[in-house]
């Protein structure tokens, strides 16, 4: 058993902590904010590799996470449910490589029809935190400005905050704005990445519908913009007329932690093992369990 410090308490950091604790390591998580106050909490959190380079490693990790979420969906306490929906396809050359990560799908006139995990973020993140605490993981609320030196290994899973800790100039934010409407009874989701008027998605949850969105590369603005919200609602109403007139329940902005490619590897140049697990863009939940398992494998190789 080794001691491992995980920097970051979003969905990636907590998933890594879970897999390391399950493997028998002593795990501590350091973060300046809880998962429920992180970008993870803003996400629509439907399984889909969005805003990420869909490499073979990414699709493999997505497949692992799909299977884990499918198992978790049997327990209502997790906040995970399997929901049918459509990924709209508007171009003949649209990238549908992600379909190899799911067990089944069908092609329709609108696009790709499939059933995928939908994660109710507040419920799931609270469940995941409680679960890792019950496994003996310690979670400390601290601001981390340098790599901790009091453990056998360190995993940097701090999203955009990872850049400063590891001197990585290849990370950048992608601003995503959402508005949450009352749910008139919708169950099916859809995403429309190639909508000519802008990225559009509708993700019904138990009591609301997450409507988006935006993909503003390089923007650090975390304040909801009323004009952007109005444009989102115009696109959403055009595609889902049932949402017209539904009251706004809440709104939010999240900065997706993007990179030219997801970084899951041992970082060279350190006297003791340091590992990177960040750069997931809009696919944090989608890749969480797969990349957490990969980090656990890499750490197992050094013991």
Query: What is the rounded distance in angstroms from the CA atom of residue 19 to the CA atom of residue 24?
Result: 9
* Token pair of 74 as six digits: 């049997």
Distance (Å, whole) CA 235 – CA 242? 13
- What pLDDT, in 10s, does the model give residues 135-186? 999 999 999 999 998 999 999 999 999 999 999 999 999 999 999 999 999 9
Put simply, whether the predicted model's pTM sits higher than 0.75 gets the answer yes
CA distances for 46 relative to 87, 98, 129, 135, 188, angstroms = 11, 14, 19, 26, 11
Secondary structure letter of residue 61 according to DSSP: H
In angstroms, the CA 197 to CA 217 distance is 17
Share of residues in the chain with pLDDT > 90 (%) = 93
Residues of the chain with pLDDT under 70: 1, 303
Looking at domain 3-300, its CATH superfamily turns out to be FAD/NAD(P)-binding domain (3.50.50.60)
């Amino acid at each position: 058993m080794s001691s491992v410090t995980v920097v970051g308490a979003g969905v990636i950091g907590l998933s890594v902590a879970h897999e390391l604790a399950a493997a028998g390591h002593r795990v501590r998580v350091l973060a300046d904010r809880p998962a429920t106050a992180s970008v993870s909490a803003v996400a629509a959190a439907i399984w889909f590799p969005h805003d990420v380079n869909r490499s073979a490693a990414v699709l493999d990790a997505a497949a692992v996470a799909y299977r884990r979420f499918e198992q978790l969906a049997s327990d209502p306490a997790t906040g995970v449910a399997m929901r049918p929906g459509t990924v709209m396809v508007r171009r003949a050359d649209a990238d549908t490589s992600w379909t190899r990560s799911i067990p089944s799908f069908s092609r329709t006139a609108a696009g790709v029809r499939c059933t995928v995990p939908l994660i109710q973020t507040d419920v799931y993140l609270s469940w995941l935190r409680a679960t890792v605490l019950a496994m003996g993981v310690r979670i400390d609320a601290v601001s981390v400005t340098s790599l901790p030196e009091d453990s056998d290994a360190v995993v940097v899973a701090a999203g955009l905050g990872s850049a400063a800790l590891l001197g990585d100039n290849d990370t950048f934010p992608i601003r995503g704005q959402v508005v949450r409407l009352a749910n008139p009874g919708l169950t099916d989701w859809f995403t429309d990445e190639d909508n000519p008027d802008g990225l559009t998605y509708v993700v019904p949850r138990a009591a609301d519908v997450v409507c988006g969105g935006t993909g503003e590369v390089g923007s650090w603005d975390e304040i909801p913009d009323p004009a952007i919200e109005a444009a989102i609602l115009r696109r959403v109403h055009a595609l889902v007329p049932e949402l017209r007139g539904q009251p706004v329940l809440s709104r939010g902005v999240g900065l997706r932690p993007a990179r030219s490619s997801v970084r899951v590897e041992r970082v060279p140049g350190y006297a003791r093992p340091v590992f990177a697990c960040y750069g997931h863009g809009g696919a944090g939940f989608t890749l969480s369990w797969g990349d957490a398992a990969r980090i656990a494998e890499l750490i197992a190789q050094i013991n």
